[in-house]
Amino acid sequence: MRFTNAIGFKGKFYALSLQGTLAVIENIDSHLRITALGKKRAIPSDSSLHFRELMVESGVDSVEVYQLDVDDLTWIKMESLGDRTLFLGSNCCMSVSASKVGCKRDCVYYTHRSGDYGWWVYDLDKATISPAS
């Protein structure tokens, strides 16, 4: 397994694989070992003070966002992103403060897998999908 990103948090390392899987890595008897693997693709956040991993699932007419509970590696559905905005592409993903970058808050910007070109926006508050303008 190859990793693209890692962070130390509460005495463990949380690493994001190239495939988007979250791994928990611990130092056991002077050896680094993967002790747990998340089951869904995660999105790193730029939140500066707290470790936060998000996962997004999308269908034809909806998008669901989940936040990782670090203690038991379960995903909890989020009803709102607050001031956050997610950007999801085929090769990258990120979470940003909407007020800092000047985009619409509580939204997920993404590219369609169906071959439609361009960006789409899912508004969590209104539960609507529209082309990004």
Residue 125 has pLDDT above 80, yes or no: yes
Decide which of 62 and 97 is more confident: 97
Is the pLDDT at 51 greater than 60? The verdict is no
pLDDT digits (tens, 9 = 90+) for 71-107: 777 778 889 999 988 887 766 677 788 888 788 899 9
Cα(58)–Cα(112) distance, integer angstroms? 9
Distance CA 34, CA 129 (A): 38
Q: What beta strand segments (E) does 1-133 contain?
A: 3-9, 12-17, 21-28, 31-41, 43-44, 53-58, 63-69, 74-78, 84-88, 93-97, 107-111, 119-123, 128-131
End-to-end CA distance of the chain: 38
**Residue 55 CA, distance from chain mean position:** 4
